Amino acid sequence: MPGGDYNSLTVDAGASVAANSGIYIGASGGVNSIITVNGNLTATAGFGVVIHAGSVAIGDTGVLNVSGTEGVLLSGMPRNGDEKYNNLFSVTGNGRFSADCSNYNIKVGAINADGFPKDSEGNTDPRAVINLSADYWPENCEPRVNGTAIDL
């Protein structure tokens, strides 16, 4: 679904969708687009990015499974002004996310890392970008700032 700005893709509760060649949604660089998963979405790609969007939200009944070389690449929501990188990837309630990707599972790219949210000490706060509850994080797994990207 490349093309228009403000595109959205929603997988409703009870629906199951398989995207065997990945998903690219949104305008240039995938910005200002959202994928909402309340059902079951399985996305795979033989090469390159599996999902490229502005943001991904997995709801209480949602399940997102991703596999391939490069997982979920998020480019932000410039329409949100100063908060364009806040909560770009979220899982709420009983929602689930699993990924088996060789280069990265989730990556948030920016032209300039200054746009990322900051903590109280003024440092980039990757957990404000990839918003998962504390019990969701596997042991020894942290999002990290990598130049103009945040990787998981």
pLDDT digits (tens, 9 = 90+) for 116-147: 888 889 888 888 888 877 766 767 777 888 88
Higher pLDDT: 88 or 42? It is 42
Q: Taking 60 as the threshold, does the pLDDT of residue 20 lie above it?
A: yes
C-alpha 131/C-alpha 89 separation (Å) is 6
pTM of the model: 0.88
C-alpha 44/C-alpha 65 separation (Å) is 8
Angle value at C-alpha 94, between 93 and 98, nearest 5 degrees:
115
* pLDDT for the residue 2: 59
Contacts 24+ apart (CB under 8 A), 147-151: 147/113, 148/109, 148/110, 148/111, 148/112, 148/113, 149/107, 149/108, 149/109, 149/110, 149/113, 150/107, 150/108, 150/116, 150/124, 150/126, 151/104, 151/106, 151/107
> 61-114, pLDDT tens digit by residue?
999 999 999 999 998 887 777 777 888 999 999 999 999 999 999 998 887 778
Give the residue extent of every domain in the chain: 1-50+60-79
Question: Which residue is listed with tokens 């009944």?
Answer: 61
